Amino acid sequence: METPFAQVTDDLIKGRELATQLQGLLRDSPKSGLIMDRILHAFSRSIHAAKAAVATSERASSDVQSEVIDGVSGGGKRKPASAAAGGNRRACRRSRTQQSSVVFTKSIKSLDDGHAWRKYGQKEIHNSKHSRAYFRCTHKYDQLCAAQRQVQRCDDDEGMFRVTYIGVHTCRDPAAAVAPHVLHLTGTAEGMHAGCRLISFAPGGAAATTHDATASTTTNANLVDKDAATGSGRQGMKPESGDQEEVLSSRTPGNSAPRSTAPAATAPAWPDQGDVTSTRQYGGAVSFGEYLDDYTSLGDLASYVLDH
């Protein structure tokens, strides 16, 4: 049986072949050529990662943390909250087992993954020292993007965060997608604070690379519960805090957010920057999350090329 990863691998290989052909056609445009190089590089990395995932999943299908769940629609509904005090809570919450799609977890040092997230909740988790923050894509409503993620500081290594992604981005957030890379290349990162150096697949190598210092542990380890994930509003996320945070913000959600706010996607006190650092969850050296990052970015890059 073919695992989803195997299928993805096949698709990626085909994609790389097509990209190669496209590169030939775009030879005359230096800019496009540059982007094509990046696309090819990303394809290669993704293929490599996907293969690793295939190998891993074949032998460890049981204890994987990443999994693909069949998207279900329908919904788990709750009864009309007529009762209770507060009364009118919407009854349309989806049950957690039904929301679906791709779910994977990874441990990272910084939280910026290039997407604009909006925090919608935070919870103390039993048996965990730190609370867990819940984020949904900023474009959940305007673009019906179903991506969500949960962020929780690791108990054993406070400089690391365990991030669980649920669903994949279906939104087209230009800033999130291409920007980090392209802007970095072209040097137009104006106003994007640091937006720049983040993100995964840096051409040279191993995206992850950056384990750079920035965050090595310490980072804001001082946050304590509450402040931890929060940092209240945007005040907390202001770049001022120095390195770790400058970041993320960078992007302003595509259309609808005139405001700056770029949700620090995360938590103010939390580091951001999305380098994908390891994750052993997937067993191997390559994390599925990392691969997914590239995978999604590929589409964005490709569309960018087509638009220009």
Partner DNA sequence: CACATTTGACCGGC
Partner DNA sequence: GCCGGTCAAATGTG
Nearer to DNA, 29 or 260 (CB): 260
- Name which of residues 89 to 108 contact DNA (CB under 7 A): 89-97, 99
**Closest approach of Cβ 252 to DNA, in Å?**
8
Which of 27, 31, 226, 280 is close enough to bind DNA by CB under 7 A? 226
Under rule CB under 7 A, how many of the chain's residues touch DNA? Answer: 66
Nearer to DNA, 134 or 201 (CB): 134
- Name which of residues 157 to 196 contact DNA (CB under 7 A): 166
Long-range contacts (CB closer than 8 Å, 24 or more residues apart) made by 253-257: 253/116, 253/138, 253/139, 253/173, 253/175, 253/176, 254/116, 254/139, 254/142, 254/143, 254/171, 254/172, 254/173, 254/174, 254/175, 255/142, 256/139, 256/142, 257/116, 257/138
Is residue 260 a contact point for DNA (CB under 7 A)?
Answer: yes
- Name which of residues 103 to 132 contact DNA (CB under 7 A): 117-128, 132
Is residue 232 a contact point for DNA (CB under 7 A)?
Answer: yes
By CB under 7 A, which span of 36-44, 79-87, 171-179, 287-295 interacts with DNA? 79-87
Nearer to DNA, 138 or 296 (CB): 138
Burial class (CB in 10 A: 0-12, 13-18, 19+), 59: exposed
* CA nearest to 49, candidates 16, 12, 19: 12
> Which DSSP letter does residue 30 get?
H
* CA nearest to 288, candidates 114, 68, 111, 70: 68
What is the binding site for DNA (CB under 7 A)? Answer: 76-97, 99, 117-128, 132-134, 136, 138, 148, 150, 166, 226, 229-238, 253, 256-261, 263-265, 267-268
